Amino acid sequence: MRTFQPTLPPITKDVAIVGSGVAGALIGWKLAQTGASVAIIEAGTTIDRATGAAQYRAALTQTPDCAYDVQPYAPWPRVITKNDYYVQDGGPESDFQSTYLRAVGGTTWHWLGSMPRLLPSDFAMKSNYGVGIDWPITYADLEPWYMQGETQLGVSGFNEDDLGSWRSGPYPLPGIPMTYGDKEFAAACDPIGLKVSPTPQARNSQPNNGRPACCGNAMCIPICPIGAKYDATIHLGLAAEAGAIVMAEAVVVNVAVDASGAVSGVTYVKPDGTAGIVTAKVFIIAANAIETSKLLLMSTSDALPGGVANSSDQVGRNLADHPIRLSLAVSAKPMYPYRSPLATSGIENLRGGDFQSERSAYRIEIGNDGWSWMGLGPVGWAEQAIKNGDSGQAVWDTIYGTMPNQIRVGSLCEQLPDPSHRIVPSATEFDALGIPRPQLTFGIDDYTQKGLDAAIETHDKIFDALGVTKRQHLPQWQGAGHLMGTHRMGDDPKTSVTDSFGRTHDHPNLFLAGAGLFPTTGTANPTNTVAALALRTADHIAATLGSQST
């Protein structure tokens, strides 16, 4: 790995945060409000919403990341060419499939916006089912911060729905209505014991804090063109208003630890190769489960040959996702996709039970996006028709005759922690700045495979109830974009990296944030839990740091 000598003027703050996604933005905003001086350091560049939306609309291949350009100084894995950045050679059956974005605001730019909570039972998998491990906190411990997070992100939901996770208060915004297709699913599924429920979402159902209500652009992935869906630039802006600085295009490459065991500074590199250092009283790394672990493991020294915060040898281990079983079908009558957010409802009553002692649970997401996941949305379907020799009216007939009846369901399966599933900095492959690329080892164990197999049976029951005319279960599981588990929290420093507040066991002034903290994955999209944990961490840091400013 290339070494960098800081030559830029040093920056000194009370708090230095690496990463500007939802966790870093929330923590930065909350601590800046206390009067603490805060620097939020982001490897990627800023994004212009109008430019990104136009780039998506003009793209011939409309992938979840086509609205954004990769910067050579801060590369990230693209959906189609993920192994241009990842270093892995297990093949499609065992390669890690999920990706992310490095930019100001992080992957919240192209996330879906779904905000289910974990179930109370998800926090105690070992106690309840004899598998995995237990979290060092309970659902009840986190519930007040779930409420805070949902308020900050502006979650729309229906208070009368029981999604398996009790609530101490109402949603901040009314729910996003079910689509016509959702209602058709609900009518078909109810007689077979599957309850379709509206999904809580971080998008406005009505104007909220100066942002408009969702108007159904149907392009939530990769970009909400009007800002109705939450992204972390909202709290980055609020943090800046409170005095925080946001340092874009600053790639953190080293975490320095002094003789006392405290972190003394982080070194960052600019696109031109010049380097600087940020010193602080408290440091938070909130990059994501892969980038956070890579940074810690790169930061070796004579005193810490295994990297920072890694006395347990758990940094980078237990990499997890929610592998998705994806099924497509043609309905007997139109379902009218492409007129709403990409998913507004799901099936929540298969997410937990005694069967978890034998196989994974799953959460079923009902898609409003037809077959676009497989590149066969309107643009992709038209391209296919043209390749088949159609033109003019024939292309229109192909699209019009197919689009309204396209349906898809996806089951997000939990994974158990597996220390062999990991990320390490590559020893041989480097990016344009000379920084190691992430080398990944991944796979699907029998526990998760049984869940994926069970999902097919459930999908068939749903399709039978709907009376579809065609169906297809994709043989290859898909990535959910949910990077979890690589620096897990716990009470035992020998088996975990941080305590329940994200404070590392090894370094008293270093905190980690994000879904890498998760000891187990559950089945819920992780952002709601990430936000809750981040706000809990921020309150803990504020209580210990006080309001003294630099």
Distance CA 287, CA 62 (A): 26
Give the pair of three-digit tokens for residue 33.
């409000």
Task: Evaluate the omega torsion of the peptide bond into residue 212 and state whether it is cis, within 30 degrees of 0.
Answer: no
What is the distance between the alpha carbons of residues 499 and 502, in angstroms, rounded to a whole number? 5
Contact present, 290 and 479 (Cβ < 8 Å): no
Query: Measured in whole angstroms, how far is the alpha carbon of residue 256 from the centre of its chain?
Result: 28
In terms of DSSP H, where are the helices of 361-445? 378-387, 393-402
Residues with catalytic annotation?
A: 482
**Whether 350 contacts 103, CB under 8 Å:** no
Residue 5 has, within 13 A of its CA and on its CB side, a CA count of 1
Q: Are 225 and 219 in contact (CB under 8 A)?
A: yes
The DSSP output letter for 135 is -
* Nearest in space to 322 (alpha carbons), one of 111, 98, 486, 480: 480
Q: Which amino acid is at 477?
A: W
Confirm if 503 and 539 have CB atoms less than 8 A apart.
Answer: no
Only one residue has tokens 């040898």, namely: 313
Distance CA 253, CA 273 (A): 12
Amino acid (one-letter) located at 514: G
CA separation, residue 467 to residues 166, 456, 463 (Å): 35, 16, 6
Given a contact cutoff of 8 angstroms between Cβ atoms, the answer to whether 369 and 403 are in contact is: no
d(CA 234, CA 38): 16
Spatial distance between the Cα atoms of 414 and 380, rounded to a whole number of angstroms: 31
Using CA atoms in the order 179, 184, 186, 191, what is the torsion angle rounded to 10 degrees?
Answer: 170
Report d(CA 161, CA 177) in Å as an integer: 13
Name the nearest CA neighbour of 447 among 354, 364, 523, 360.
Answer: 360
List the one residue out of 526, 535, 534 whose CA is nearest residue 118.
526
CB 154 within 8 A of CB 201: no
CA 370 to chain CA mean position, Å = 22
Give residue 335's region: left, alpha or beta (phi > 0; psi -120 to 50).
alpha
Tokens encoding 489: 């929290």
CA angle in degrees (0–180, nearest 5) for 267-242-173: 110
Tell me the C-alpha distance between 125 and 359, whole Å: 12
According to the 3-state scheme, what is the secondary structure of 50-92? HHHHHHHHHCCCCCCCCCCCCECCECCCCCCCHHHCCECCCCC
